[in-house]
Amino acid sequence: MRLNDCDPSFKHEIARQPGGEGIKTCFACAACTARCPVGSLKPEYDPRRLLRLAILGRREEVLSSPLIWLCCSCQNCSEVCPQDVRCTDVLTAIKNLAAAAGYAPPSGQAMARQLAAHGRLLEVGEFENDKRAELGLPPVSEQPGDYQALLGLKPEAPRPAGEGA
């Protein structure tokens, strides 16, 4: 690893994100890794190593790594960390930076569009409400107005055929 390839400001960039502050106190004890249910099945996913790379300033390597998306957000690491790093939250901060840099999987934008269209991740139409009524459950409505405003997205016209999600 060459120092010239490292960006020493990266850890500060992470620390400026909500929940990212904890990265500065990590002393690499690997309690997070020891308690990680993902790492125990997939050793190449190692939260301690990801945080180390981030602290060293390996910006592109971290942000472009598909491994950062394997955090299951279970918060085990946050519970056992002696430095209160809140590793799950630091990884969320890193994922947010990766998304801003264009490295996120496309599902994020697809979900945002779905929320702008329906206010819910799963649509509720007549079919769903009929099924609910059969069980004596009250109808559920879609109220996407606020979601469009907060997401800054208008509900979309149907995309022409051939265009991906």
Residues 6+ away with beta carbon under 8 Å from 89: 18, 19, 20, 22, 78
Which of 3, 4, 82, 143 touches other proteins (CB under 8 A)? 143
Residues 6+ away with beta carbon under 8 Å from 61: 53
The verdict on 16 binding other proteins (CB under 8 A) reads no
DSSP one-letter code for 165? -
Which of 41, 157, 161, 165 touches other proteins (CB under 8 A)? 41
Span near other proteins by CB under 8 A; candidates 7-15, 24-32, 50-58, 117-125: 117-125
In the complex, the smallest distance separating the C-beta of residue 165 from other proteins, rounded to whole angstroms, is: 13
Q: How far apart are CA 165 and CA 153, in angstroms?
A: 15
What number of helices (H) and strands (E) belong to the chain?
9, 0
| Interface ranges with other proteins (CB under 8 A) | 17-19, 37-38, 41-42, 66, 69-76, 78-80, 86, 88, 92-93, 95-96, 99, 104-105, 107-109, 111-112, 115, 118-124, 128, 131-132, 135-138, 140-144, 146-147, 149-151
